Structure 1
Amino acid sequence: MATQHIIKASLRKDEGKGASRRLRRAGQVPAIVYGGHQDPLSIQFEHHAIYHASNSEWFYSAIIDLDMGNETQKVILRDMQRHPFKQQIMHLDFQRISADEAIRVSVPLHFLNQEKSPAGKSSDVVITHELNEVEISCLPKDLPEYIEVDLSALKQGDTVHLSEIKLPAGVSITELKLGKEHDVAVVIARHGRVEEESSAETEGEGEDK
């Protein structure tokens, strides 16, 4: 069962750039909730609390319960604007979800047993993770916070593609619906010397230009 993530929010009446600046000076973060066949809703968060939540992996892929006192709405994060150099969140966009409507969300990949694999035990093999997250489609009840990729059998020369990832029930990878050419590599185990030669060739090409 997925972990429930609750974040407190409050409604905001003032809108516009001036109002948003005043909120930020007061330690608040302006945000908006949209979708779900309802009107957009302007809300705000206490910056310290939302910044702390944003440092967790689940914040970007899990269903969040927005607790607004008199009601709770289930949402997913769709956009976050950060200050260019300060540790400050400037604005957040959330989308409401409906239990009977599929959603598309990018979820992180967790790579398991790499060190225990034949490739991981070999000092001559370089393992690269070509992707660290993948976009999936599913009903909200089936949304995983992450997807595990078991690399225990990975050997030198192996390539793990999107289609080889074991998915939870009810979950599909959106990229694979576009055709076989979109079945890209997720993990590659190359001989270390091949990796070095490839890097040297790339550097040489840059010098010729």
Structure 2
Amino acid sequence: MSDNKSLKAELRTEDFGSAGARRLLRTKRIPAVIYGKNEPVHIILDSREFTNKMRHFSETALLKISVGKKSYECLMKDYQENLMRAEIKHVDFFEVTRGQVLRTLVSIVLKGNPVGTKEGGVLDQVMHEVEIECFPKDLPAALEADVTSLKINQSLHLKDVVIPANVKVLDDLAKTVASVKGVKAEAVAPAEEAVAVAAPAEADKDAKAKK
């Protein structure tokens, strides 16, 4: 496993609660919890290490968290952030078990430049993530949806996305993932309407001038 997907932590056995969390944050450490099949494990992360590696994490990135001599294979499920201070306040991890089916959300990434956008259309991504089921070893970082062949007013559906082997999609395959919408026709209509509205106004102005 890449070093960017590994974290070192210490076990948190005391000083719980909001006051304890604030004391940890002041010392550049982050309170965190590992949830899973057993009781939650409360841990403490090094703030610098976590923030430096966080950009490599995603909801489907398997992380190795070492706590003393024990290690946990986890997914990062959520985190709390103080935007004013640019500070991570708390992190939630979910422990996965090798050999057991995992159910999670995975991002959908669009690939390619649609034909329709070269003709004046606009690409609209309707679906950004989908729920899947697979073993941890088969967990994809993301699903790629190739939109290259989409023309104006055409759509790509979930059934058209290439799904890796051993991965099961748990959503409706008829759902639209992305589409290319035509905007030229829509832009002309308001302009024509504006002209139609302006015309009576000009006629009324001319009538008053003649009086």
TM range (shorter): 0.7 to 0.9
* Superposed displacement of residue 66, structure 1: 0.6
The counterpart of 2:143, out of the listed 144, 147, 160, is: 147
Q: Please, which moves more after superposition, 126-135 or 25-34? A: 126-135
Residues 95 and 199 (structure 1), Cα distance of their counterparts in 2 relative to 1, 3 Å cut: farther
What is the rounded CA distance, in whole Å, between the counterparts of 2:52 and 2:186 in structure 1? 39
Q: In the alignment, what sits opposite 1:12?
A: 12
Per the alignment, in what secondary structure is the counterpart of residue 89 of structure 2? strand
Query: Secondary structure of the equivalent of 2:152?
Result: coil
Task: Give the whole-Å Cα distance in 2 for the aligned partners of 1:106 and 1:185.
Answer: 17
Over residues 32-53 of structure 1, what are the superposed CA-to-partner deviations in whole Å (9 max), with x where a residue is unaligned? Answer: 11213x2211101111221222
Q: Which residue of the other structure, out of 112, 116, 127, is the alignment partner of 1:119?
A: 116
User: Do the aligned residues in 2 keep the contact of 1:53 with 1:59 (CA within 8 Å)?
Assistant: no
Specify the alignment match of 1:190 in structure 2.
Answer: 181
Which position in structure 2 is the counterpart of 1:49?
49
Is the 1:126–1:195 Cα contact (8 Å) retained in structure 2? no
Unaligned runs of 5+ in 1: 201-209
**Structural mapping, 1:1-209, within 5 Å:** 5-14=5-14, 15-36=16-37, 38-56=38-56, 58-114=57-113, 117-122=114-119, 124-176=120-172, 183-194=174-185, 196=187
Q: Which runs of 4+ in 1 moved over 6 A?
A: 197-200
Structure 2 unmatched runs, 5+: 192-211
Q: Would the alpha carbon gap of residues 91 and 99 (structure 1) be closer, same or farther in structure 2, given more than 3 Å must change?
A: same
Give CA-to-partner distance per residue, 1:67-95, whole Å, 9 cap, x none. 22312110111221111532111111111
* Larger gyration radius, structure 1 or structure 2: 2
Report deviation, 1:109. Answer: 2.0
How does the TM-score come out when normalised to structure 2? 0.80
Give the secondary-structure state (helix, strand or coil) at the position aligned to 2:64. strand
